[in-house]
């Protein structure tokens, strides 16, 4: 979940701590943190891969990656990429396109974007 406290937002001023809280959960475990400092660098992305290392590890991402690498890193390269937060295809797309988002319509477009057959980073 991403929780935005709009009372802490004042246009054209420094972002106030507590503006953006993120909660990630899985059965038996959750983590919540203020990620306003990350947001102040430009934007907050979400890629369907756990952000917090504790959740990422508890969900078994590293183990699955290790198993796929044992089976063949080249054969499973795309699957491995899907499981890594920083290099997931959506991460690459957001990094590439986020600077173009200046309207709500552009935001809707990037959120719905799905051209995996033609996009080289998709």
In a domain, residue 24? The reply is yes
pLDDT digits (tens, 9 = 90+) for 68-84: 999 998 999 999 999 99
- Between 5 and 92, the higher pLDDT residue: 5
In a domain, residue 52? The reply is no
What is the sign, positive or negative, of the torsion defined by CA atoms of 116, 22, 41, 110?
positive
Q: What are residue 5's phi and psi, to 5 degrees?
A: -90, 95
In a domain, residue 36? The reply is yes
Q: What domain range is 9 assigned to?
A: 1-46
DSSP code at position 42: S
Which of 29, 18, 88 has its CA nearest to residue 57? Answer: 29
Percent share of the chain, pLDDT over 90:
75
How large is the average pLDDT for residues 17-22? Answer: 98
In a domain, residue 62? The reply is no
What pLDDT does residue 87 have? 87
In a domain, residue 89? The reply is no
pLDDT digits (tens, 9 = 90+) for 20-60: 999 999 999 999 999 999 999 888 988 889 999 999 999 99
Supply the Cα-derived Rg of the chain in whole angstroms. 17
Computed over every residue of the chain, the mean pLDDT equals: 93
In a domain, residue 10? The reply is yes
In a domain, residue 9? The reply is yes
What pLDDT does residue 46 have? 86
How large is the average pLDDT for residues 89-118? Answer: 91
- Report residue 70 as tokens: 């044992």
What pLDDT does residue 79 have? 93
Percent share of the chain, pLDDT over 70:
100
In a domain, residue 55? The reply is no
Q: Where are the beta strands (DSSP E) in 1-122?
A: 2-4, 20-26, 29-34
Q: The pTM is what?
A: 0.80
DSSP code at position 13: S
How many domains is the chain built from?
1
Whether 48 contacts 60, CB under 8 Å: no
Give Cβ neighbours of residue 60 (< 8 Å, ≥ 6 apart).
Answer: none
């Amino acid at each position: 979940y991403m929780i935005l406290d709009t009372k802490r937002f004042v246009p054209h001023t420094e972002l106030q701590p507590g503006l953006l809280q993120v909660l990630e959960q899985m059965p038996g475990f959750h983590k919540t943190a203020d990620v306003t400092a990350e947001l102040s660098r430009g934007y907050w992305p979400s890629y369907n891969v756990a952000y917090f290392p504790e959740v990422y590890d508890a969900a078994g991402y590293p183990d699955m990656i290790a198993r796929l690498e044992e089976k063949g890193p080249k054969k499973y390269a795309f699957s491995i990429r899907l499981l890594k937060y920083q290099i997931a295809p959506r991460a690459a797309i957001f990094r590439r396109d986020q600077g173009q988002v200046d309207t709500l319509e552009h935001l809707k477009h990037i959120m719905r974007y799905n051209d995996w057959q033609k996009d080289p980073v998709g």
